[in-house]
Amino acid sequence: MLVLVEAQSTWSVNILIRTLMYLMETLNQFFTENGVDLYRSVKVEIPEPELYVIYTGDKKSVPKQISLKDEFFDGKDVAVDAMVKVITSGESGDIITQYIVFTQVLNEQVKIHGRTRKAIEETIKICKDRNVLKDYLESRSKEVIDIMIALYDEQEVLDRYVASREKESEIKATVSAYQRLGKSITETIDDIISQFGLSAASAEKKAKQYWA
């Protein structure tokens, strides 16, 4: 059996597409590692897949399972389908429930302290007081803090990259619009400086880059 699990704090049926992509990547790795030849005539054996999402957000009502064909193709029988089981809580006190509580506490602390060490430390303290993942957190608090800070740093880099790409797209669209309106490249440069806060040299470079 092949079990794939993802956790998400914001509800989105796009999890169906992601898990399907993860499944294909995992199967490809499985075939490669086991030397499976997909071009031979004999039917190959593959592990039975099970797909899960652990939802840790605030949305009160979520389905027990979702499927690609229902969410994206109005229930039509399409060439490819995927079904994902949704876990919102486990048995009282089990590891899934504790994980969900830990994530919810972390989200609350991030709202208060931002994505900082303080938020992580407060989360660990609160969870230990509530007997949530207590043994693990007591023995590996430093490791948890180090991992979470690393994840925060990676997210910060990603956020900056996305913001940079969005800004670049806006600059390109501005240059294109000014050109269609018959504005001069000098007027365009002045507007880029004003709108995006670039230096004159940077604005000129961008204007010339996107001027068709």
Domain span at residue 185?
A: 166-210
Confidence of residue 126 (pLDDT cuts 50, 70, 90): very high
Quote the number of domains for the chain.
2
pLDDT at 17: 92
Whether residue 110 lies inside any domain: the answer is no
Single residue among 57, 88, 119 that ends a domain in this structure: 88
Contact 74, 61 (CB under 8 A): no
Whether residue 75 lies inside any domain: the answer is yes
Give residue-wise pLDDT tens across range 203-212. Answer: 888 888 888 7
pLDDT at 5: 83
Give residue-wise pLDDT tens across range 82-100. Answer: 999 998 876 667 788 888 8
Single residue among 73, 88, 103 that ends a domain in this structure: 88
Whether residue 170 lies inside any domain: the answer is yes
Composition of the chain by helix, strand, coil, percent to 5: 60, 10, 30
Average pLDDT, stretch 119-137? 90
Average pLDDT, stretch 10-29? 90
Whether residue 144 lies inside any domain: the answer is no
Whether residue 27 lies inside any domain: the answer is yes
Give residue-wise pLDDT tens across range 32-59. Answer: 988 999 998 899 998 899 999 988 887 7
Single residue among 65, 88, 111 that ends a domain in this structure: 88
Whether residue 129 lies inside any domain: the answer is no
* pLDDT for 79 beyond 90: yes
- Which 3-state string (H, E, C) describes 1-22? CEEEEEEECCCCCCHHHHHHHH
* pLDDT for 137 beyond 80: yes
Whether residue 190 lies inside any domain: the answer is yes
Which of 91, 152, 94 lies closest to 123, judged by CA? Answer: 152
* pLDDT for 152 beyond 90: no
Instruction: Look at 115 and 153; give whichever has higher pLDDT.
Output: 115
Q: How far apart are CA 9 and CA 111, in angstroms?
A: 14
Contact 207, 172 (CB under 8 A): no
